[in-house]
Amino acid sequence: MNEFSIVCRILGTLFNRQPQDPILKPLLTMIVEGKLKQSWPLEQDALLDRLQQNCDLSAMQADYVALFYGDDASVPSRRSDYIGESENDIRQFLIERGMPLSDGPVDQFGSLLLSASWLEDQAAEDEVQGQIELFDEYLLPWCGQFLGKVEAHATTGFYRTLAMITREALQALREELDS
């Protein structure tokens, strides 16, 4: 896995899973211990310090549920909630590239970041164009609205900071695709 894939995978997982999910425990431990900062490929040390300082698991869990979980979620996490288009085009795009998909929604913010990681890991030589298309067509047009809502509605510094880290990371990752 390269740096592009790692950043997408970490951010996608943090948005896709509740803080008390056992899968997140090693990642959250790295954040708490400051070890993520040591291996983070982007220049975001101050934000990673803020993330580390705001790792209160019970507060994060309550915030995650209020932000993203269920019909009462304050921040819709699916592209179709912002763009108004069904997820069928994203599903077809990923199927054409050989990505195995579950029956669940594929247009959630975290899922799209995980898809970008998968595309990078499975990339053929010409797949950079697929990654560019994923970013330009399916992620970037609505991520500003989504991340802005996360910042506005989050009650913990963890999710406000995660939104800032993600905004900067997406810009850097997209620039990397051009180079």
pLDDT (tens digit, 9 = 90+) per residue, 117-153? 999 888 666 568 889 999 999 999 999 999 999 999 9
Read off the pTM: 0.94
For 102-125, how does the pLDDT look when each residue is reduced to its tens digit (9 = 90+)? 888 899 999 999 999 999 888 666
Helix, strand, coil shares, percent, the chain, to 5 = 70, 0, 30
Check residues 1 and 43 and name the one with the higher pLDDT.
43
* Residue 6 pLDDT exceeds 80: yes
Contact assessment for residue 166 and residue 12, using Cβ atoms and an 8 Å cutoff: no
Question: Exposure string (b/e) for 23-55, b if CB count within 10 Å is 16 or more?
Answer: ebeebbebbeeeebbeebebebeebbebbbebb
pLDDT at 1: 52
- Predicted confidence at residue 84, as pLDDT, reads 83
**pLDDT greater than 80 at residue 73:** yes
Start-end of H helices in 69-108 = 79-83, 88-96
pLDDT of residue 113: 96
Domain extents for the chain? 3-69+104-178
* Of 18 and 98, more confident: 18
If we measure between CA atoms, which residue out of 116, 29, 114, 21 comes closest to residue 64? Answer: 21
* pLDDT tens digits along 48-68: 999 999 999 999 999 999 999
CATH number for region 3-69+104-178: 1.10.3480.10
Q: Output the pLDDT for position 117.
A: 93
* Amino acid 125: pLDDT: 60
Share of the chain above pLDDT 70, in %: 97
